[in-house]
Structure formats: structure tokens, C-alpha cells
Chains A and B, each alone.
Chain A
Amino acid sequence: GESVGLHLPTLSVQEGDNSIINCAYSNSASDYFIWYKQESGKGPQFIIDIRSNMDKRQGQRVTVLLNKTVKHLSLQIAATQPGDSAVYFCAESPGLQGAQKLVFGQGTRLTINP
């Protein structure tokens, strides 16, 4: 069945360091991948996405890497700040369904140490 997972439930990093959050997916038919950030009491917030025809995409302080050979996705956050503390989810979209039917991973809680 569909699943997106494999994660460290928690990740602690020093403020200013880079963070790397990993995710594995199982559906080779997935065309589209998204990283979301969820802060306490809020809904998930879009961070960055990548299509299956790409292996890297950069945003502001964030980079997503996609390795289709091993079905692995990672989110890199540069110069981590206290405001980056949240739970991070990877999500995949099977087929060409955009972001309307997403399969989410279990999430990784990122904690920033001062």
C-alpha cells in the first residue's frame, strides 16, 4: 500500500547549524513531493515542493533533494533559527493529482537548541 515514512521522530540542532530531515517513500508512481511545516496549534504550512523529474530544488534557506533510485527525500534547512522549531512532514502525491490527495509521512519534530 501507499506509505511515506522512515524518519527520526525528533531532531535537535544548535541554532545556526544546518538541519537535515529525511523521508522515504514507497510509491514509485508518485509524481510530486512536498514538505510541510506544522507548528503547534496550526495546520501544515507549505515549505517547498519537487517534481519527480527533478533531483534538487532550492528555496529560501531550504533545499529539497529527491533520490528516486532509493526512494528518498530530504529537506535541508540552512542556518536553523528558533522559528524553525516545528514538526516537518513529507508528503507525496500519487499520479498526477497535484496536492489534492496527499500521502503524508509520520513527521519529524525539529527542536532548536540556543
Chain B
Amino acid sequence: KAGVTQTPRYLIKTRGQQVTLSCSPISGHRSVSWYQQTPGQGLQFLFEYFSETQRNKGNFPGRFSGRQFSNSRSEMNVSTLELGDSALYLCASSLTRGATEAFFGQGTRLTVV
């Protein structure tokens, strides 16, 4: 079966713009988590969604937001982009909350110029 799909793979935006990234989890998976990966900070948890509700949130400013749809697909949005938002954004899907395996997508590489 298909893995986690993230679109787009690459994105270039200008400071001040906003961006929306998409994640389609593995079929049947209902939990989606988002992470930001940068060379300096490594992999950092952004938020987790389950049943269309945000269940956990990491230590990121309010410019970072997300949502989950009834089909478990998730989007994350970053408003008023800053240069420091340049990163690889990874989505991970799990069967349910408390599941011990998370499957990652290939990520969306966001570059802010």
C-alpha cells in the first residue's frame, strides 16, 4: 500500500508570504504528526492531529498552524514566513494514538528567500 505522501516536495517562498503543506497518511492511519528538520535544531515536533483535533503542540510560534480533515489528510500552514523557517517539514502517520510505529513521508523542503 502507498506510504505517506507529502506535497509539494520543494517550495520556494519569499519572506512575509504564507505557505500550506499537505500530508496524506497511509490508508487507515488516523494520527498525523508534523516535524521541522533543520541542520541547527534537528528534528523538532510541531503538532499532532487525531480525529480532526490537535492533540499535542510543540514549542513553535502561532504562525505555525495545522488541521486535519475527515479523511485524515492533514495540512500545515506557516504565515508571515521568516528566513529561519527554511527547513524540511516532515509528516508522520500512525494507525492511532499510542501506536508505537510512525511512518514518515519524504518531506517538503521549504526555502524562504
Chain A residues at the B interface, C-beta cutoff of 8 Å: 32, 36, 41-46, 49, 89, 91, 96-107
Chain A, residue nearest B102 (CB): A99
Beta-carbon contact of B100 and A49 below 8 Å? yes
> Which chain A residues lie closer than 8 Å to B74 at the CB level?
none
Known contacts A43-B107, A98-B100, then 18 further A-B pairs from the complex at CB < 8 Å, ordered by chain A residue:
A42-B106, A43-B106, A44-B43, A98-B94, A98-B99, A98-B102, A99-B100, A99-B102, A100-B55, A100-B97, A100-B98, A100-B102, A101-B33, A101-B58, A102-B33, A102-B35, A104-B44, A106-B42
Chain B residues at the A interface, C-beta cutoff of 8 Å: 4, 31, 33, 35, 42-45, 48, 50, 55-56, 58, 90, 92, 94, 97-107
Q: Kindly count the residue-residue contacts between A and B in the assembled complex, taking CB atoms under 8 Å apart.
A: 69
Q: Dominant SS at the B interface?
A: strand
CA distance A42 to B6 in the complex (A): 11
